[in-house]
Structure 1
Amino acid sequence: MLSDDLPVEVEVEVEVEVEVEDGVALLEMRRPPANHFDEALIGRVVEAAKGLDDDPACRVIILASQGKHFCAGADFGGGDFAVDHVAAAERLYRRAAELFDVRTPMIAAVQGTAVGGGLGLACAADFRVAEASTRFVANFARLGFHQGFGVSVTLPEIVGRQAAADMLLTGRRVGGDEALRLRLADRLAEPGLLRVTARALAAEIAGSAPLAVRSIRATLRQGLAERVRAALDHELAEQRIHWATKDSAEGIAASLARRVPVFTGE
């Protein structure tokens, strides 16, 4: 039996790790294999990125993740989202909006899939590096509800209105080669060289004058944070309605069961 006087060591899982080298910070999410997020994980990403804003040794951030997939969005089969979709999304979006306040250029290194809110997370970055095997999926309509995580603003900003409509209304998978053509991916890495390719792009940016880089970026993204916050409010209002429908229940259940959904418009 342990004495009451002895400290009990508790192993704490580190879900966000940061390493800075040669002006480039690797900010890694660690919830493999799918890196499903919630308010807690996004909050840790936000706090780490804001901390890097004030680190003179950091000029560029690479947002990466452990495991097979970059990010599969929210986990509707467990955690906060399984209990109350609306409350969990409201908390999540409040933190997600802060990603657009980060002042340091960010590159998302996207392996596997970036699906749903995971696509939104990738689109919050300035650049995306992918592989031919990477899949970008705006599957919200296939789950029976409106898109979220600011995708209403960021996706058409990146790929244009028509391509965004195609992705959102069909919910289809966009592979790495097509993503490069759409400019959803800015660089396409050879297999196994995703982070090497992302770091090469980061090194190019880090080699430019840092004050000028931040100023140029701020000009290019002027008003983006405000537009995303307004979009998040609208997205949540629409999702609140849809999550009460039979179609949404069917879409989520079908996704969890890995079957084709049957929607009735109810």
Structure 2
Amino acid sequence: MSLLTLEKRGHVAILTLNRPESMNALGAPGDGDQVRAACDEVNADPEIRCVVLTGAGRAFSAGGDVKAMKAREGAFAGTGVAIRDGYRNNIHRVVRSIYGLEVPSIAAVNGAAIGLGCDVACMTDIRIAAEGAKFGVTFLKLGLIPGDGGAWLLPRTVGMSRAAELLFTGDVIDAATAEKWGLVSRVVAADKLMEEAVGLAERIAQQPPHALRLAKSLLKQGQTASYDTLMEMSAAAQAIAHLTEDHMEGVEAILEKRAPSFKGA
């Protein structure tokens, strides 16, 4: 079954992990190519200004397919070199593609986000959780380590101490704890999750699209770039923004005391 569906609602794209029968398990052969194709489509579409990522059924994603691990099939088959290459060329392609989205992204975490599933949620910019959502970094319980880049991103999301606690214990935390720890921005009723996520996406999509993509790029680069490097990048990006028609629209809207209408020009 295809892993991902893509739906466009105006300037918002909704990506849905669509394997509910396996709690949206990830890592089957071809998953990386599917996710990359969808994310490339989003990046290439100037009409899309924000993405919502969610899961079909009762889970966001339960992570890697444990049954495939047991059978040593798919991404978990072959020699050590073959498995390494499977991570590089498939599983890494999933997380790199989501992390590489040029527009703001929101994870609407509707249920369990475990292992690779939790790390995929962390690859988005904003996370909103349903009240019944669960989060876990349970690799060690399977005798594994985060093979998907989670060890790089999780400390940047919740801090080193929280990340270490999650990884070293393998504990699964509830949505309220995830909110307290900064793993999610807010917790909402399950039946309001998509309404809240799409509503937030639509508010973000009201912003000027060129400046929006530049702003996201600066936030991401700021995680690793030096202060001086980011200052130079900021000056260059700001110069580009100053020359857009949307900048002048924003200025005129303020002076005329009206809402701006940004066109992406």
Alignment-mate amino acid for residue 89 of structure 1: Y
Are the equivalent residues in 2 in contact too, given 1:75–1:82 (CA < 8 A)?
no
Deviation at 1:88, TM superposition (A): 3.1
Are the equivalent residues in 1 in contact too, given 2:155–2:162 (CA < 8 A)?
yes
Residue 88 of structure 1: aligned partner: 86
Alignment-mate amino acid for residue 60 of structure 1: C
Deviation at 1:191, TM superposition (A): 2.4
Residue 16 of structure 2: aligned partner: 28
Residue 99 of structure 1: aligned partner: 98
Deviation at 1:100, TM superposition (A): 2.7
Residue 120 of structure 2: aligned partner: 121
Residue 156 of structure 1: aligned partner: 155
Alignment-mate amino acid for residue 20 of structure 1: K
SS at match of 1:26: strand
Which deviations, in whole Å up to 9, do the C-alpha atoms of 1:167-203 show, x marking residues without a partner? 0111101110111111111121112111111111111
Go from structure 1 to structure 2 and tell me whether the alpha carbon gap of 1:68 and 1:42 turns closer, same or farther (over 3 Å shift): farther
> How many pairs does the alignment contain?
214
Are the equivalent residues in 2 in contact too, given 1:75–1:81 (CA < 8 A)?
no
Deviation at 1:160, TM superposition (A): 0.6
Deviation at 1:22, TM superposition (A): 2.4
TM-score, normalisation: structure 2: 0.75
User: 2:224 & 2:6 partners in 1: Cα distance?
Assistant: 24
Which deviations, in whole Å up to 9, do the C-alpha atoms of 1:36-64 show, x marking residues without a partner? 11252232122111111121221001111
User: 1:61 & 1:181 partners in 2: Cα distance?
Assistant: 24
Alignment-mate amino acid for residue 164 of structure 1: A
**What value does the CA root-mean-square deviation take over the aligned residues?**
2.0
Gap regions ≥5 residues in structure 2:
226-265
Are the equivalent residues in 2 in contact too, given 1:62–1:106 (CA < 8 A)?
yes
Sequence identity (%) = 29
Are the equivalent residues in 1 in contact too, given 2:4–2:18 (CA < 8 A)?
yes
User: 1:83 & 1:148 partners in 2: Cα distance?
Assistant: 15
User: 2:206 & 2:100 partners in 1: Cα distance?
Assistant: 23
Residue 191 of structure 2: aligned partner: 192
Structure 2 residue 4 is matched with structure 1 residue 16: yes
TM-score, normalisation: structure 1: 0.75
Which deviations, in whole Å up to 9, do the C-alpha atoms of 1:120-176 show, x marking residues without a partner? 111111111101210010001111222221111111111111110110111101110
Are the equivalent residues in 1 in contact too, given 2:35–2:97 (CA < 8 A)?
no
User: 1:117 & 1:15 partners in 2: Cα distance?
Assistant: 14
Are the equivalent residues in 2 in contact too, given 1:114–1:135 (CA < 8 A)?
yes
SS at match of 1:221: helix
